[in-house]
Amino acid sequence: MAKEYETVIGLEVHVELATKTKIFCGCSTAFGGRPNSHTCPVCTGMPGSLPVLNKKVLEYAVAVGLATNCDITRYCKFDRKNYFYPDNPQNYQISQLYLPICRNGYVEIETEGTAGETSGETTRTKRIGIHEIHMEEDAGKLIHDEWEDCTLVDYNRSGVPLIEIVSEPDMRSAEEVIAYLEKLRLIIQYLGASDCKLQEGSMRADVNLSVREVGAKEFGTRTEMKNLNSFRAIARAIEGEKNRQIDLLEEGKPVVQETRRWDDAKEMSYAMRSKEDAQDYRYFPDPDLVPVSISEEFLEEIRSRQPEFRTEKKKRYKAEFDIPDYDIEIITGSKHMADIFEAAVELGAQPKKVSNWLMGETLRLLKEKELDPEDIRFSPNHLAKLIALTDSKAINSTVAKEVFEVMFAEDIDPEQYVEEKGLKTVNDEGALRKTVEEVIAANPQSVEDYHNGKEKAIGFLVGQTMKAMKGKADPASVNKMLKELL
Amino acid sequence: MEKTELLALSAVELGRAIRNGETTAVEAMEAVLAQVDRTESQYNCYVTLDREDALKRAAEVQKKIETGELTGPLAGVPVAIKDNMCTEGMLTTCSSKILHNFVPTFSSEAVLNLEKAGAVVIGKTNMDEFAMGSTTETSAYGVTRNPRNPEHVPGGSSGGSAAAVAAEECYFALGSDTGGSIRQPASYCGVVGMKPTYGTVSRYGLIAYGSSLDQIGPLTKTVEDCAVVLETIASHDTKDSTSLNREDTDFSSALKKDVQGMRIGIPRDYFGEGLDAEVKDAVLAAADLLKANGAIVEEFDLSLVEYAIPTYYTIAAAEASSNLERFDGIKYGYRAEDAQGLHQMYKKTRSQGFGPEVKRRIMLGSFVLSSGYYDAYYLKALRVKAMIKKAFDQAFEKYDCILGPVSPTTAPKLGESLSDPIKMYLGDIYTISVNLAGLPGISVPCGTDSKGLPIGLQLIGDCFGEKKLIQTAYTFEQLRKEGK
Amino acid sequence: MANIITDETIEYVGILAKLELSGEEKEAAKKDMGRMLDYIDKLGELDTTGVEPMSHVFPVQNVFREDEATNGDESEKTLQNAPEEKDNMFVVPKTFE
């Protein structure tokens, strides 16, 4: 009989923090810009340069630690991790090994009830332990130059602050891994500590995975997988690595503890180790940086600034706004969307209407353009104005959708736009009557159908009138006028 | 003023003469450059000299002195900078092949502070490669000779700076001291050298050897110059996290000829085996002189002295192995031409670019940090360091300063030291623990041996105790000058 | 403890430190490192139980900078000393397989 295996997964998640400047120097963290334009002696490892810690990095790290139920290390230090690689200008990375800023935390995830669970419910809550969170610096970017078969180095990302969140090996499936990542992402986005985009690399996950026979007490030998830049890639890599390890065990071969690179296109992983790479990082306390001592006041200040997280927000929405649970789920699923929702409501728009725009057109366009809710660019003010325009019947719903598309793309002011493009509904009764009369005269067949009891025929006539008025009419008024004249 | 007369002035005297209009910054620079022409071929104090630029800057400074923009004691005074401090636009090599063409884009904070005060940089002085050595023989740009006797080494690693001051090829110089690298060459060359309390002078722009031990300090002709230079270069620099915010940096206020009641401790452990008899006699005679003038001098046991060297070499080598990783042929400096692939490029560049002593320490440092040895070597050394610091703390409960030799011997002959590393390292026994404990230490000339080679007296202070050191050193210097 | 320095150790440390020693240098390194470590072993004589490792001699803590950009485009300076440069980037032997 085939053996049954269990997959044991732990994650190392790197998150780029949303500071304005790098962790140890005053260079901008902005994306873009020509290569090496955001660099200075410190982040390019010039001889004689020295690091000074960006206070905001510490604040964000502590905020994430508190939100993930960690113990905050009151006396923490930075260590050097020594390894040679061109993206690392000093050939050591400043990180934290011995005294990381946060330890012993957890987050709770909702998972499908799995086999062996006695609970009859379809979902259950599972606690994923966080071993530690530490602060460190990001590396530069390496670009392969096809023409000259060499590598080019750009240090614009070198020194961008990261936190690395190391979980306990508490996950057992790709679903749990994704639920955990989603949870972390939401917490961090709610804190404003990062936008957490996997595709753009502001959130990166390395997967530590081992397999063991069900019931075994000891963990198997684990491998670490890198280069996972989407949830899909993570799910596939977990599946692939699990099978690779099970195959090895079935063949009686050992699993080698190593780092592997996932190639999502080929759906395969490759060992990254070479003989020039001893993986002995010779960590030691960085003598150029002084220890960080965290006072009760500092902690209290960070605590007092913690935002309302998703669970509380959901509860509040339910109590305050008359919108469906499903809408609440989606809206609070993105901090950015929740912010837009609340701001638009604050500006006087009716919650249900704001929610409808978000759930309907916004989600449709996000999907169409393959964007995340974090990418929404229109301002809540403009959404509120658009809603006001439809409420006052200044534009009809068809025009509103057109305006919204432009607003979605360019964040235009809908009032100004409607004015400039002359999209306001024509409320001149004389003009409407004249057009309706012309439409009736031009479509005798439909008129006859209508009189013969074909209700649908009026729809056609409404359409023709709207067309003749270039959409700038209120369909209800057209309908009324038609019925009156017929 | 006659040129020879001009050259004999101290930095402070020259500054005064310039302000009084008796001479100019340009004349002073010309005098120094003429001296360089006379003696540099023999001593090799400098790695880089920029005559034209030095004269141009001297002229600019002279103008500012005349317009009253610059009024400080060092305005117009020519200074030499050890070649491990970055100087914007001026070659900075650390006396290593690996930085043979490196031109920094910024200047070290200490150099900027001097320039703000109107001192004029002549050039960059020779040193042991990356400050690793005690003789200035490990330089990739030739040895420097001791101006007191060219058959002998000037000491190191700031040998070029000490020799340049002794040879009057500058009025004062900056050095750096990781385990004695200012005090020991000062002693060998018969000049004054001081290592301040760790954190007093910014390390920004100093190319690191052992970051937790490195400190920049002055090499000067007199104690007065030393105090004035130190108060000029000391600053709280927000670019250096280990820089201290001190308010007591008016060091020249301590230039008082008075040791009445000064409590001076002499560690018996500094006068044992290995100490040259002539050095011992000169140092003890200095102690007697201070005692005769009112100081309270007594012997005590410092303890742990013999553990300082192994502690130091473990910590310094570990930090150096990491600090020197950035020299990889990618961003600056030497790059091996004939390498196939990345790892070959790294290995060839570093193996060809670094000299044997640097490689030796990098290897040792990488080893003591490596998996399985970190606790036994590196952490052990950090624990012993704590014990050494505590021993000093206890001593300073009783004494204002500690008095002893700088080095067990006077300057050895060229070529005699490098063959046996342990023997060479043992020469640092009296200077090293000062760096481990972050303390200030000063070396003042106190005599010569039978061969005419200078002997240095070392005074060690408690942290932030520079003023007591300066006062004691100044008093001793004045008494000695008076022939007492 | 000097016997811990074998040919393999020298080889291994060479990989860590990216140094390639000639045969002669290797022999010298083995000897020197062995002697140095013997010497460092002297520290074993001291009982350091309960002594905290001391990295910094002074209890300086919490040195921060504010999160404000102070640097503009300094790429020209960054690349000024580059042994090889292309398209405003440093050139290195290829790192991708």
Chain B residues within an 8 Å CB radius of C96: none
**pLDDT higher than 80, residue A273:** no
Looking at the complex, report in whole angstroms how far the Cα of residue B420 sits from the nearest Cα belonging to chain C: 9
For the segment B439-451, what is each residue's pLDDT rounded down to a tens digit?
999 999 999 999 9
Cα of B286 to nearest chain C Cα, Å: 30
C62-70: average pLDDT: 97
pLDDT at A117 over 50: no
Instruction: For domain C2-45, give the fold.
Output: Histone, subunit A (1.10.20)
| Domain that includes residue A438, residue range | 429-485
Domain count, chain B: 1
* Domains: count for chain A: 3
Question: Hey, of B322, B370, B371, which one would you mutate to test binding to chain A, going by the most A CBs within 10 A of its CB?
Answer: B322
Task: Enumerate neighbours of A (3 or more CB pairs within 8 A).
Answer: B, C
The pLDDT confidence band at residue B11, using thresholds 50, 70 and 90, is very high
Question: What is the domain-level CATH number for residue A464?
Answer: 1.10.10.410
Q: Indicate the residue among A269, A297, A325 that finishes a domain.
A: A297
Statement to judge: residues A166 and A56 lie in one domain: yes
- For range B60-72, the mean pLDDT: 97
Residue of C9, C13, C67 to mutate for A, most A C-beta atoms under 10 A: C67
Q: What is the mean pLDDT of chain A?
A: 91
A371: exposed, middle or buried (C-beta count within 10 Å: 0-12, 13-18, 19+)?
A: middle
Residue A254, pLDDT above cutoff 50? yes
Residue A303 domain-assigned? no
Segment among A262-276, B116-130, B185-199 with least mean pLDDT: A262-276
- Of residues A40, A55, A149, nearest to C67 (C-beta): A55
Check whether C2 has a pLDDT greater than 70: no
Is B417 catalytic? The answer is no
Residue A175 confidence (pLDDT) above 90: yes
Peptide bond into B107 cis (omega under 30): no
- Claim to verify: residue A364 and residue A434 sit in the same structural domain: no
A23, A50, A91, best to mutate vs chain B, most B CBs in 10 Å: A50
Residue A198 has pLDDT above 90, yes or no: no
Residues A315 and A272 in one domain: no
The domain boundary, picked from A421, A437, A469, lies at: A421
Q: Do residues A359 and A330 make contact, with C-beta atoms less than 8 angstroms apart? A: yes
Pair (A240, A376) in one structural domain:
no
- SS3 string, chain A, reads CCCCEEEEEEEEEEEECCCCECCCCCCECCCCCCCCCCCCCCCCCCCCCCCCEEHHHHHHHHHHHHHCCCEECCEECCEEEECCCCCCCCCEEEECCCCCCEEEEEEEEEEECCCCCCCCCCEEEEEEEEEEEEEEECCCEEEEECCCCEEEEECCCCCCEEEEEEECCCECCHHHHHHHHHHHHHHHHHHCCCCCCCCCCCEEEEEEEEEEECCCCCCCCCEEEECCCCHHHHHHHHHHHHHHHHHHHHCCCCCCCCEEEEECCCCEEEECCCCCCCCCCCCEECCCCCCEECCHHHHHHHHHHCCCCHHHHHHHHHHHCCCCHHHHHHHHCCHHHHHHHHHHHHCCCCHHHHHHHHHHHHHHHHHHCCCCHHHCCCCHHHHHHHHHHHHCCCCCHHHHHHHHHHHHHHCCCHHHHHHHHCCCCCCCHHHHHHHHHHHHHHCHHHHHHHHCCCCHHHHHHHHHHHHHCCCCCCHHHHHHHHHHHC
Number of H helices, E strands in chain C: 3, 3
> What was the pLDDT predicted at A457?
81
In a domain, A202, yes or no: yes
Residue C40 C-alpha, separation from nearest chain B C-alpha, in angstroms: 5
> Does A302 map to a domain?
no
End position of a domain, from candidates A398, A421, A444:
A421
Nearest CA of chain B to the CA of A267: how many Å?
28
Provide the CATH number for the domain around residue B417: 3.90.1300.10
Asked if B181 is an active-site residue, the reply is: yes
Q: Are residues A160 and A266 in the same domain?
A: yes
Residues A216 and A86 in one domain: yes
Residues A258 and A361 in one domain: no
Q: Which of the following is catalytic: B161, B176, B181, B433?
A: B181
Q: Which of C9, C16, C39 sits opposite B310 (nearest CB)?
A: C39
Assess whether A266 and A123 both reside in one domain.
yes
Question: Taking residues B290-308, what's their average pLDDT?
Answer: 96
Per-residue pLDDT for A15 more than 50?
Answer: yes
- pLDDT tens string B375-423: 999 999 999 999 999 999 999 999 999 999 999 999 999 998 877 777 7
Q: Over the stretch B174-228, which tens digit does the pLDDT of each residue have? A: 999 999 999 999 999 999 999 999 999 999 999 999 999 999 999 999 999 999 9
Our answer to whether residue B3 is catalytic in this structure is no
- Residue A24 sits in the same domain as residue A58: yes
Domain, as residue range, for B305: 1-484
Whether A58 and A183 share a structural domain = yes
Tell me, yes or no, whether A377 and A261 share the same domain: no
A204 and A237 within one domain: yes
Band of the pLDDT at A114, cuts 50, 70, 90? low
pLDDT digits (tens, 9 = 90+) for B337-370: 988 899 999 999 999 999 999 999 999 999 999 9
- For the entire predicted model, the pTM comes to 0.91
Contact call for B421 and C35, based on CB within 8 A: yes
Contacts of C89 in chain B (CB under 8 A): none
Q: Is the pLDDT of residue A118 over 50?
A: no
